[in-house]
Amino acid sequence: MLNGNLFYVRTASILAAAFVSLAIADGRFAIQGAEPRRVPYWDHIQFYRSPLDYNGEATDNPLVRLQKAYARDEIVLNSWKPLGYLPDLLKQLAIPVDSQVLVPYTGSNNRSVSARRPRAFYFRDDMVIAYVAGQPELEIAVYDAQRGTVFFSVEQEKAFDLRRRHDCLVCHNNHPTALTGVPGHLAAFEDFDGRALTKRWHGRYVTGGGPGIVLSANYSFEDQKSLQLPADQRPKLVGITDRFETSEYLSPHSDIVANLILDHQIHVWNWIARLNIEHQLNLRSSKDKADLFLASALLHTYQEKFDGPITGTSEFTDWYIRQAPRDPEGRSLSELDLHQRLFRYGVSPMIYSRPFQQLPGEVRRRIYSFIDEMLAGTRPLPGRERSPQDRALARSILRATIAEYRPAEK
């Protein structure tokens, strides 16, 4: 009988140990000090589970703080016809009207989006607001320091009230362009595969351009015959104001520079969300792939080479270049080149953004280290070659504007 009891005790101990091992391997809880489990960077993480609990309340973001300020009567948000809460929200959240990007498709209100009534996106580095003329809701994606990318909607004709939207994950966690295995934005492949401007933005509206640049944008999906022609043979579209009801939108622009920046920012944002969730669940991508993808995105390594000056049609560029801190010489990472590349100094100002700066310290420092190694030449730098002068200048600005940025050890 004693031997039988010992058998059951030992069996129970073995099963319990196996359960704990499986639970840890599945990412359900992290053990303090335990070595992170390595996973493929494309692996879909079980982000619904503890300790992350993605479906839990999302409170560590500026949108929820705005809702609380409104509830305390500290701010006023009015619903104006026909735009609803959009003008007041943009003002309160310091999102410029000139960030407007027009897309005549996508969204949960897909049936209402058309060439005549495109979906308008307004953005800053941690938030995107989507508006469609005549629709009852605004849709908002915001970065939450605890949950990652979360989604809300606001009914336009009722008292201002944020509603968490989990149905957005039908696309925003399963779409082929959401490549990071966690909730995120539908990234534009163009930002990280070096695709030429002439091959970008099918189905978008874009204003502006440059000498010799014939965009694939501004042709709706109804323009199939035009889309099938080579870019240099398509009928030229001078503007887009005759294509949609401009009176129902805040701007007649869909600035080419705003399009470039939005594509880049959501690509960076997606990898930040991936690394945040990995850390919380005590996971780490195999061969540090997610870390390296984020470092490469911040260095905009796969940017295409422009063949001439790019010019927007709104004040977006002037607004954008004022957003990042400057070094003692007056240089800023938000300065744009727009002749041969997007960023003048080849490093994204998203490195200063709230999403990146709210990453756990050890993750941030790891990314700084990878970036500095790439710029110093001790680690391969993907994409187009950069001169030693460009690399040294980028490192100098980073050291001068980020206190915890340290040069890589030789």
Q: For residue 139, what are the domain limits?
A: 62-191+251-401
Between 319 and 17, name the one with better pLDDT. 319
SS3 213: coil
Rounded distance between C-alpha atoms, residue 298 and residue 68, angstroms: 33
Residue 409 maps to a domain: no
Q: How confident is residue 252, by pLDDT bands cut at 50, 70 and 90?
A: very high
Pairwise CA distance, residues 138 & 280, whole Å = 30
Q: Is residue 19 domain-shared with residue 92, that is, in the same domain?
A: no
C-alpha distance from residue 403 to each of 148, 181, 183, 240, 357 (Å): 25, 31, 30, 45, 12
Contacts (Cβ under 8 Å, ≥6 apart) of 193: 302
Please give the helix or strand (H or E) that residue 345 lies within, else none. Answer: none
**How many helices, marked H, and strands, marked E, lie in the chain?**
12, 8
Same-domain pairing of 15 and 99: no
Would the CA dihedral through 373, 377, 378, 381 be positive or negative? positive
User: Which pLDDT value is given to residue 45?
Assistant: 85
The average pLDDT across 337-343 equals: 92
Give the confidence band of 11 by pLDDT, cuts at 50, 70, 90. Answer: very low
Residue 332 has pLDDT above 80, yes or no: yes
Same domain, 187 and 267: yes
Ranges assigned E (strand) in 125-186: 127-132, 137-144, 148-155, 162-164
Where helices occur in 159-243 by DSSP H, the ranges are 169-172, 190-193, 224-227
Whether 302 and 365 share a structural domain: yes
| Least confident interval from 208-212, 317-321, 346-350, 406-410 | 406-410
Around 81, how many Cα atoms within 13 Å sit in the side-chain half-sphere?
1
Q: What is the pLDDT of residue 231?
A: 60
pLDDT value for 242: 78
The pLDDT of residue 183 is 85
The count of structural domains within the chain is: 2
Q: Is residue 209 part of a domain?
A: no
- Contact at 8 Å (CB) between 84 and 157? yes
Question: In this structure, are 28 and 116 located in the same domain?
Answer: no
> Would 41 be classed as within a structural domain?
no
Both 14 and 100 in one domain: the answer is no
C-alpha distances out from residue 72 to 65, 67, 92, 367, Å: 11, 9, 15, 39
Assess if residue 340 is contained within a domain: yes
Write b or e for each residue in 80-114: b if 16 or more Cβ atoms lie within 10 A of its Cβ, otherwise e: eeebbbbebbbebbebbbbbbbbbbebbbbeeebb
Task: State the Rg of the chain over Cα.
Answer: 23
The pLDDT of 374-385, averaged and rounded, is: 89
13 and 72, same domain (yes or no): no
**pLDDT at 347 > cutoff 90:** yes
At residue 123 the predicted structure's pLDDT band, cuts being 50, 70 and 90, is very high
Residue 54 lies in a domain: no
